[in-house]
Structure 1
Amino acid sequence: MFEKPSLSVRNLEKQFGEGCPNCNDASNRFLEKNYCPVCGTVYACQNVSFDLYPGEILGVVGESGSGKSTMMQCLYFDLEVTSGEAYIQVEEWQAKNLFSLSSQQKRFIRNHHYGMVYQNPIRGLKMDVSSIGNIAEKLIAAGSRNVSEMERVGGALLESVQIPLNRRKEEPRNFSGGMQQRVQIAKALSNNPPVLFLDEVTTGLDLSVQANVLDLIKQIQRELGISMLVVSHDLAVIKMLADRTIVMLNGAIIEEGLTDQVLEDPQHSYTQQLVYSLL
């Protein structure tokens, strides 16, 4: 792993609220969990730093409210960060802090270099547009104009995620949760992104459907070598997918390492609780 990271994140901070003398100083904050009892400010992400390497699946695990999904939304520009830096290993952008780009430049990064699969498919798909139309929308945003080429690419992607040929022009609202997630994955892959974000993608799915989605994600990693950031509260999902794992609590990273190492020999008391609850 001596390659340059596909994505580097340094000192990402996200707070909800103005802060006050009790909590403004990062080195001397008095919080209850990640919440200031004086002014009510929530520190959803605190000094989050990590690297995501080419072809790697990096797992992010933590309980509800630990900051993992907020971090993901900041990286995908769904939320503005309070402060911090992020760099992507793409020639024209590699020296630029992604968080400081204009909204137009951020949209370009999303359309050309990022893919996102949300926990709720309603956030990632237009439910009243055909499955292949959803993919075409992403391709158009990335600059495609050739209709027959978009149909070819869209068809190939839907085939790769096992959506039947006769349902490609059907709207996702008619699909099961597992099929909706597969369409979302196909859409996210349509611009050949070097970085793919997956936010709680198996939550709410039946166990057999979960297994199919997880198998698909592993297959994509093997065949395409995309770097993936996978957020989950489910350690079993992280164990199956992730090469390395970050553990978050109260907005901060409290432990990180190779997934087997973190799960077999957890150092932090919170990680120990998480692991023992899985056993």
Structure 2
Amino acid sequence: MYEKPILKVRHLHKQFGKGCTQCQEGHSESLQKNYCPKCGTVYACRDVSFDLFPGEILGIVGESGSGKSTMMQCLYFDEAVTSGEAYVNDSDLMGKNMFELSAQQKRSIRNHKYGMVYQNPVHGLKMDFSSIGNIAEKLIAAGKRYVNEMEATSKNLLDSVHIPLFRMKEEPQNFSGGMQQRVQIAKALSNNPPILFLDEVTTGLDLSVQANVLDLIKKIQRELGISMVVVSHDLAVIRMLADRTVVMLNGSIIEEGLTDQILEDPQRAYTQQLVYSLI
């Protein structure tokens, strides 16, 4: 494995609600899963720490409500963390906790260092813009100004995700779910991000469409060497994509390791249950 992680996350904590004396740290046995029945606070992420290495696909797996999507939203600055640290191995950001940066600095990271593909394409695309317009919007945010250059880049990206170019001026709201996801992937790649987040990107798609999207993700990773964090509740998706896997339950990481190791010799009862449900 590489020496230096490209992304280092330490002690990420996210709660919805103020908490009370019953559920504050040290009283977690009073929680029902990650919910406090007394004050209604949800502890969505609890002390989450992991590394992402260059060129690696890291899988985050867990049931619905395990905190994996909230964690992703915190990393992409869609949600503010309650506490924690995240560092990107980049000369401009060395030693800076990204969660403590200004809104402008966070926006710059989203425009230049990160790509995001949401479970629901409505969150990643403007459905009433053309497909090429969606990509141009991201390019403009990343500082591009020349129309011909942006059009050429957009065409190449749409072609690479198998969107017919004669449909590039159509709005994504006219497309199937699988095509919308592919436009979203093209948009996320337009700023050449070193880190790409993918949140439940195959949920709700037909099996054949799922396979096409997963093949596309593997091809992109192989050709561009992008580091990816892939969130899924589906271990079959993680098995196909991930080099290493982190298992989350009730907001906490309960197991992590090489994906083959997690699948062949799961240590925790919950992970065993996940793996056996695949067989």
Q: TM-score, normalised by structure 1?
A: 0.98
Aligned to 1:170: 170
Alignment of 1:156-195 (within 5 A): 156-195=156-195
Distance 1:53 1:268 in 2: 25
Equivalent residue letter for 1:205: L
**Partner SS, residue 163 of structure 1:** coil
**Once the two structures are superposed, what CA deviation does each residue of 1:148-167 show, in whole Å capped at 9, x if it has no partner?**
00001000000100111101
Q: CA deviation at 1:23?
A: 1.6
Which residue identity lines up with residue 215 of structure 2 in the other structure?
A: D
What letter corresponds to residue 50 of structure 1 in structure 2? F
CA contact (8 A) 2:16 2:43 kept: yes
Deviation track 1:154-199 (CA, whole Å, cap 9, x = no partner) reads 0000010011110111111111110100000000000000100000
Structure 2 gap segments, 5+ residues each? none
What TM-score, normalized to structure 2?
0.98
1: CA distance between counterparts of 2:155 and 2:220? 16
Displacement after TM superposition at 1:40 (Å): 1.2
Deviation track 1:21-79 (CA, whole Å, cap 9, x = no partner) reads: 11222x44231110112211110000000000000000000000000000000000000
**Count of aligned positions:** 278
Aligned pairs for 1:238-257 (under 5 A) are 238-257=238-257
Q: Which residue of 1 aligns with 2:200?
A: 200
1:1-279 to structure 2, matched below 5 A, reads: 1-25=1-25, 27-29=26-28, 30-279=30-279
Q: What amino acid is aligned across from residue 86 of structure 2 in structure 1? A: A
1:75 maps to amino acid: L
The code of the aligned residue for 2:189 comes to L
Q: Among all aligned residue pairs of Structure 1 and Structure 2, give the percentage whose two residues are the same amino acid.
A: 78
Structure 1, 162-171 or 74-83: larger mean CA deviation: 162-171
The separation in 2 between residues aligned to 1:165 and 1:2, in whole angstroms, is 39
**1: distance between equivalents of 2:153 and 2:103?**
28
Once superposed, which parts of structure 1, at least 4 consecutive aligned residues long, lie more than 4 Å away?
none
Contact kept, 8 Å, 1:66 with 1:250, in 2: the verdict is yes
In 1: Cα distance, 2:2 partner to 2:75 partner: 23
Aligned-CA RMSD value: 0.7
Secondary structure at the aligned position of 1:73 is classed as helix
Instruction: List runs of 5+ in structure 1 lacking aligned partners.
Output: none
Following superposition, the deviation at residue 94 of structure 1 comes to: 2.1
State the one-letter code of the partner of 2:181: Q
How many angstroms apart in 2 are the aligned matches of 1:238 and 1:171? 31
CA contact (8 A) 1:34 1:44 kept: yes
SS in structure 1 of the partner of residue 277 of structure 2: helix
- Matched residues in 2 for 1:269 and 1:207: separation? 28
Question: CA–CA distance in 1 between the matches of 2:227 and 2:142?
Answer: 19
Contact 1:3 1:54 in 2 (8 A): no
CA displacement, residues 118-155 of structure 1 (integer Å, 9 cap, x when unaligned): 00000000011111100000000010110000001000
